[in-house]
Structure 1
Amino acid sequence: MEDGTNDSLPNLAASFSRTSSVGSSLRRRSLSLLQTVPFQIDDDIESENVSEAGDIGDRALHSKRYSESSSIRFSLDNTLENGVVFPIREDNLLQSYGIVSHDSTTLNTAIPVPQVPEENISPLSTDAMVCSKDEKQEKETALVLSSELEYISCLLHLSVFGILGVLTRYLLQKLFGPSVAGVTGDHYPLYLDLPSNMVGSFLMGWWGVVFKGDIASVSDHLAIGLTTGYLGSLTTFSGWNQKMLDLIVDGHWVFALVGFLLGLFLAAYSIKFGIGTAKCFKSLLKRLNRRESKISSNWRVDNRKRHLAVMAILVLMLGFLWSVSGTLLKKEFNSGSSRAQLWLACLLAAPGVWIRWFLARLNGRGLGKTGHLRWVPFGTLIANVSAACIMAALATLKKEVHTKNCNTISTGIQFGFLGCLSTVSTFIAEYNAMEESNKTWRAYAYALITILMSFGLGILIYSVPVWTKGYD
C-alpha cells in the first residue's frame, strides 16, 4: 500500500505541475485577450449598427425580433468560438481536475486525477445571457398579431406608401424638370431625380432618424411604411446611375463624374440638414410641453382591433390606387405618353418595395458564419446594384427595339419596379451613420463600392452595346 501511495505521489505532483502550468497559461492568455475582447465586441456592435442604420427588413417585426439572437450574444459567441478564454480561478481549475484541496493530508490518500487535455477545457457558458424560455413565451404571447398577419400588414403598408412615393417622385420630376422650373435635365449633372433624392434624404433625417422611435411608438408598421416604403420609393439609385450612363454615351464623362459627386454630396448634406432641423423641432416641442408620447397615446396601434382596422383601410387604399392606375393605363397606353408610363409604374411599385424590404434583412449580417464585413449593408448594396443593372439592360432593349409600346413598358418598369427596388434614402442613412462612426473611411468605401459596381456593370450592359452598334 505504501508503495502504491508513494508511486502516486510523483503522478500527483506531475498533475499539479500540469495544472499549474495550464492555469498560468490560461491566466496569461486571459489577461492579453480580455484587453482586446471589449474592443472586438464594440467594433462588431458598431459595424452592425452602421449597417442597420437604414433598414433591417423583416427582422424589425415582433415575430422575428424575439426569435433571433441579439447582437451582443452573436458577438460573444463568435469571440468564444474563435478561442477566447476568460479568466478562471486556479482553485476552480484544480477542482475541475478532481483536486479539492492543497492540504498535504490529501496526499496520503489515493485521489483519482483524470487526464483531461488542455484543449478540452470549454469556455465560459453564455447561457446566462440568453432570455429564459418563460420570458420568451411571455414576449411572444404579448404580440397582438400572428406572424402571418404581421407580414400582411407590413406588405400593405409598403405597397400603399411605395405607390405614393412613386407619385411624389413623378411630381418632383415635372416640377423641377425642363417643362416647369428648368432646374434639372437629361443632358447635365443636375439629373431629373436629384430633387426627389434630396427631399427623400432630408425626410429620412426626420422620419428615419430623429422621430423614428416616436413613429414606431404609434405603429412599427407605420415607421416601416414611411421609411422603407415611401422614402425608399421616393428616392432612386438606379435612375441616378442610368442618367450618368446616358451622359457618358453622349461623350460627357466630366458631367457624369460631377453628377455622381454632386448627387452624393447633396444627398449627404440633405440628411444632415434634416437631422439638425428635426432635433431643433423636437426640442421646441419639449419646451412647449407637447411631448410626442402624450400626442400619440390616443393614436397608438397597440391592439388587434386597431391593427385590423388599419389593415382594412390600407386594403381599400391599395385597391383604389391599383384600380385607378389600371383604368388610366388602359386609356393612355396607346398614346405612349409619360402618364401611361406613370400608371404602369404604380402597378409595379409594390413588388420592387417588397424585394428591397426582404433583402434588407441581410444588412448587419456580414459574410459567412463569422459575420465578416458586417459593416457593409449587403441587402441595400444588392438591391441598388441589381436594380441599376436591370435598368441598364432595359435601356439597351429600348435602343434595340425602339417602338412606342416597348418604350412605354420598359420605362414603366424602370420608373416603378426598379425605382422602388433601389433607394438613396436608405443608402444615404447608412452612409451618414458610417461617416459619424469611429471609422469614417467606411462611408467613403461603401459609397465607392456601390457607385463603381453599378456604373461599371452599367457600362458593360448599356454603354458598350450602344457604342459598338451605333444606336441613336
Structure 2
Amino acid sequence: MDYGHNDCEPRRSGSFSRISSTNSSFRRQSFNFNQSGANDDSDHLSVSEAGDIGDRALHSKRHSGNESGRPVFPFEENLVLPIQEHSFKESHLPTPSPSSPDAILHDKGQNQDCKKELPWFMTYISSRVHLAVLGILGVLTRYLLEKLFGPQVVGATSDNSYMYVDLPPNMIGSFLMGWFGVVFKGDISKFSPELAVGLTTGYLGSLTTFSGWNQKMLELSVNGQWVFSFLGFFLGLFLVAYSFIFGVETAKGVKWVFNKTNLNSKCGFELKNNIISESILIVLMITLLGLLWGVSIALLKRDFESDKSTSQLWLGCIVGPIGVWIRFYLAKFNGKGLGRQHIMKWMPFGTLIANVSASCIMATFATLKKAVKDEHFDIVATGIQFGLCGCLSTVSTFIAEFGAMRESVDPWKAYVYAFTTMIVSFVFGTFIYSVPVWAKSWS
C-alpha cells in the first residue's frame, strides 16, 4: 500500500521489479518476478514461499528484518498487496504477499498512524485458535464432500478408481485458495489478519489432503492397479492445478468489479473498530473452539460403540488442530534451503516435510489396521488418519507453490517439486504399507 503524504487515502502503484524507498512505512505494489530486476536468489526464495512461512515473521519483526517474501503471480499485476518496508529498502527481495501467514499476522499492511496492532501475545493466541477452529471446519467440510461425491450419493468418486474420494475436496480447496489465498487475502487481513491466515492455512489446508491422495494411490497399486495409480497422480495434479488457476481468474474478475464500484473502506473506520472488533473475534473463536471440541468429545463417546463412521469423524475433529499447528510450524523451513549454504532455497521444504511425513504416518496406520484386527483400534487409527494426517498434509498450499514456480524464471522447478513430493511419498509409502501387505498376503 502506498500511503503517501501521511494521510489515510490509499494510492495505487504499478508493478515493480525492485523496491523503491519512500517516506511512508507501508506501500502497495505488486511484483512480477519475470522482470529483469530480480536476482536469481531472491526468485528462489520467493517461489518457495508462495504458500506458508509459518512463525518466522513473529521473530523477524522483533529482531530486525523480515527475510521472507513471495512473488505475486503475473495474473495478480493489477491487485493491491500490502508489504512492510523496513527490510526491503536496500535489497531486491520481492514483496511479501498475503499468501504468507505471518507476514499477514505481523505486517498488517496499514499505516502505523492509522491502525494499532494487538499485543503480541493476543496475536499469538488468536492465530492459533483461528487455525484450530477453521481446521476443524475444514475436516467437517472434507467429510461432507467425500460423502456427497462418493458412491452412496453422486457416485463420482470411488476407492477403486483414479477418481479418488479426496479429489473433490482437493479441487474445491485449490479453487478457494485462488480466492482467499491470492486475490482477497489482503482485503480479509484488513479486518483480521488472523482470520485471513486461518482461512488459508487452517481451513483450506485441512479441507485438502495430500496424505489421503497418496494413500489411495498406494491402495490401488497394492492391488495391482498400477495404471489407475499413475492416472490418479497425473490427473489429480492436473485437476487441482487448473482448479487453482480458475479460482484466481474468477476472483480477479470479482475484484475488478469491486474496484470499479469503489467499494473501499476508510482507514478511520478501521482505526475506530480494530482493537475492539479483533478482541471480540478472539473471544468468539475461543468459545467456538471449546464448543467444537466439547461436542466432538461428547459425540465420540456416544458413537464409539455403535457407529464406526461418525466416531472416526469426531476423533478426526479432536486431533485435526494438532496437524494444522505442526504444519504451521514446519512452514518456517520454507525458503531456508539446506545446510549453512542454504542451497535449494526455491524448494519449500516445510510443505514437503509436512506432506511426506503425513503420508508416512497415514501408511503406517493403514498397515497397523491390516495387522490388528480390532474394530476399536480401526476407529482410532482411521480417526488419526482422517484428522491428524489430513490436516498435517495439504494440497492447497502445495498447488499454490507449484503455480508460483510455473510462473517463475525456471518453471521446471515446479515439476521437480511436484514429482519429488509424489515420488518420495509413494516410495516411502510402498515400503511402509505395500511391502508388508504383499509379504503377509493381507487382503
Q: CA deviation at 1:361?
A: 1.0
For residues 44-69 of structure 1, give each alpha carbon's deviation from its aligned partner in whole angstroms, at most 9, with x where no partner exists. Answer: 111111111111112344x6435353
Amino acid at match of 2:366: A
Task: Tell which deviates more after alignment, 38-47 or 143-152.
Answer: 38-47
2:61 alignment partner in structure 1: 65
Matched, 1:52 2:23: no
Distance 2:37 2:357 in 1: 33
Distance 1:199 1:65 in 2: 34
Q: CA deviation at 1:311?
A: 1.2
Where in structure 1 are there 5+ consecutive unaligned residues?
1-37, 74-125, 131-135
CA contact (8 A) 1:204 1:271 kept: yes
Give the alignment's Cα RMSD to 1 decimal.
2.6
CA contact (8 A) 1:336 1:405 kept: no
Q: Of residues 349, 352, 358 in structure 1, which corresponds to 2:323?
A: 352
CA contact (8 A) 1:218 1:300 kept: no
Matched residue of 1:246: which SS? helix
Distance 1:207 1:58 in 2: 20
Q: CA deviation at 1:290?
A: 2.0
Give the structure with the higher percent helix. Answer: 1
CA contact (8 A) 2:46 2:68 kept: no
Q: CA deviation at 1:351?
A: 0.5
Q: Of residues 180, 190, 199 in structure 2, which corresponds to 1:207?
A: 180
Amino acid at match of 1:347: I
Distance 2:183 2:171 in 1: 17
For residues 211-242 of structure 1, give each alpha carbon's deviation from its aligned partner in whole angstroms, at most 9, with x where no partner exists. Answer: 11111122211111000000000000000000
2:31 alignment partner in structure 1: none
Matched, 1:324 2:295: yes
Matched, 1:407 2:383: no
Distance 1:369 1:150 in 2: 31
Distance 2:121 2:90 in 1: 29
Q: 1:69 to 1:405 in 2, by over 3 A?
A: same
Q: Of residues 292, 311, 318 in structure 2, which corresponds to 1:340?
A: 311
1:229 alignment partner in structure 2: 202
CA contact (8 A) 1:173 1:192 kept: yes
2:167 alignment partner in structure 1: 194
Matched, 1:177 2:150: yes
Q: 1:468 to 1:301 in 2, by over 3 A?
A: farther
CA contact (8 A) 1:301 1:307 kept: no
Q: CA deviation at 1:287?
A: 1.9
1:164 alignment partner in structure 2: 137
Select the structure of larger CA radius of gyration: 1
Q: CA deviation at 1:43?
A: 1.2
CA contact (8 A) 1:219 1:302 kept: no
Matched residue of 1:182: which SS? coil
Distance 1:429 1:397 in 2: 33
Amino acid at match of 2:56: R
CA contact (8 A) 1:345 1:417 kept: yes
TM-score between the two structures when normalised by the length of structure 1: 0.75
Matched residue of 2:199: which SS? helix
CA contact (8 A) 1:58 1:64 kept: no
1:150 alignment partner in structure 2: 123
Q: 1:196 to 1:392 in 2, by over 3 A?
A: same
For residues 378-421 of structure 1, give each alpha carbon's deviation from its aligned partner in whole angstroms, at most 9, with x where no partner exists. Answer: 10000000000010000000000021101100000000011000
Identity of aligned residues (%): 54
Amino acid at match of 2:242: Y
Distance 1:416 1:193 in 2: 13
2:221 alignment partner in structure 1: 248
Q: Of residues 380, 394, 419 in structure 2, which corresponds to 1:423?
A: 394
Q: CA deviation at 1:324?
A: 0.7
Matched, 1:269 2:242: yes
Distance 1:59 1:336 in 2: 42
For residues 275-299 of structure 1, give each alpha carbon's deviation from its aligned partner in whole angstroms, at most 9, with x where no partner exists. Answer: 00011111111222223x35x9756
CA contact (8 A) 1:336 1:404 kept: no
Distance 1:374 1:274 in 2: 27
2:83 alignment partner in structure 1: none
Q: 1:298 to 1:193 in 2, by over 3 A?
A: farther
Distance 2:188 2:332 in 1: 21
Matched residue of 1:57: which SS? coil
CA contact (8 A) 2:57 2:66 kept: no
Q: CA deviation at 1:258?
A: 0.2
For residues 99-155 of structure 1, give each alpha carbon's deviation from its aligned partner in whole angstroms, at most 9, with x where no partner exists. Answer: xxxxxxxxxxxxxxxxxxxxxxxxxxx9x959xxxxx9x98xx86333332211110
Where in structure 2 are there 5+ consecutive unaligned residues?
1-34, 70-86, 92-106
Q: CA deviation at 1:300?
A: 7.5
Amino acid at match of 2:387: G
1:33 alignment partner in structure 2: none
Q: How many residues align?
A: 373
